[in-house]
């Protein structure tokens, strides 16, 4: 793949993630048509990332449609948010169908190994190296301690909030990881390689949260977090370790009021 073609394909996917959230629906239709044309262009040395962008547009529109249905129901705000995350099934469906037809060369749709090595701070190399199970213990401890200083443990209905947090975190962490690390990361890594694919997918993951009400500046922070989670998925060759990380972060986000 030429250097310029790789850069263009990267920008195309990231632009897709951002534009589909802020532009009218017909912009999505135009983008989808463009990516389908690029996919069918036999002169390109890479086509999968354009098809990934096309599927992203289809999945986003289907997911958004399912969300509107959920929000029409008269539900308490917390359960409405939780059920709205089930709309991720609409996001996942196009990738599931494509995976059934044509699997990517590299796939992270498996449990993954907790014994594989990950390096810090650069995932593939660094001053420290640990098995993933130990990295998860260190990561979890740092997250709990950091958020512990800002969580109000005396807030009303904290037990009920814990229930909401657990249900939301289970649903969201599993479905988002299947979508982003299981399907999207697998396809982009297969097309662009591990390091390039990790960066592209992580930026996309971060800015996809804008449609969920997350400010742009926090989307940048989510991209960094996505880089860590994507690195764990790549090094473990699966999703369970990263689902655990994602689950814990979602619990913390609920308790500081970011979700509800």
Contacts of 50 (CB under 8 A, 6+ apart): 9, 12, 35, 38, 39, 44
Task: Please choose, from the candidates 180, 201, 190, the residue with its C-alpha nearest in 3D space to the C-alpha of residue 243.
Answer: 180
Neighbours of 168 (CB within 10 A): 23
Q: Is residue 142 part of a domain?
A: yes
Distance CA 105, CA 191 (A): 9
What is the domain range of residue 125?
3-255
- Cα–Cα dist 53/184, whole Å: 9
CB 111 within 8 A of CB 239: yes
Judge whether 217 lies within some domain: yes
Residue 56 lies in a domain: yes
What integer pLDDT is reported at residue 95 of this predicted model? 95
Residue 260 lies in a domain: no
3-state secondary structure of 128: strand
Residue 201, both tokens: 């997918």
pLDDT along the chain (260 residues), means of 10: 62 87 76 68 61 89 91 85 94 93 92 94 89 95 92 86 95 98 95 91 96 92 95 97 97 89
For the chain, what is the domain count?
1
What pLDDT shows up at residue 41?
60
Q: What pLDDT score was predicted for residue 47?
A: 59
């Amino acid at each position: 793949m030429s250097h310029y073609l790789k850069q263009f394909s990267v920008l195309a996917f990231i632009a897709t993630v951002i534009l589909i959230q802020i532009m009218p629906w017909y912009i999505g239709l135009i983008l989808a048509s463009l990516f389908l044309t690029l996919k069918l262009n036999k002169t390109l040395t890479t086509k999968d990332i354009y098809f990934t962008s096309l599927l992203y547009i289809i999945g986003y529109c289907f997911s958004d449609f399912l969300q509107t249905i959920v929000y029409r129901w008269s539900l308490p705000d917390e359960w409405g948010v939780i059920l709205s995350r089930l709309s991720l099934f609409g996001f996942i469906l196009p990738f599931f169908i494509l995976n059934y037809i044509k699997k990517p060369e590299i796939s992270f749709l498996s449990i993954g190994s907790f014994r594989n090595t990950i390096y810090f701070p650069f995932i593939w190399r660094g001053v420290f190296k640990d098995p993933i199970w130990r990295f998860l213990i260190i990561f979890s401890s740092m997250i709990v301690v950091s958020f512990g200083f800002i969580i109000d443990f005396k807030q009303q209905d904290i037990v009920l909030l814990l229930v909401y947090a657990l249900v939301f975190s289970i649903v969201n962490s599993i479905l988002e990881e299947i979508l982003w690390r299981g399907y999207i990361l697998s396809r982009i890594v297969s097309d662009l390689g591990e390091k390039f694919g990790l960066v592209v997918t992580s930026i996309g993951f971060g800015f996809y949260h804008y449609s969920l009400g997350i400010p742009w500046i926090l989307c940048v922070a989510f991209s960094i977090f996505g880089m860590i989670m994507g690195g764990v998925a790549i090094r473990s060759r699966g999703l369970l370790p990263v689902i655990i990380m994602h689950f814990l972060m979602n619990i913390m986000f609920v308790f500081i009021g970011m979700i509800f």
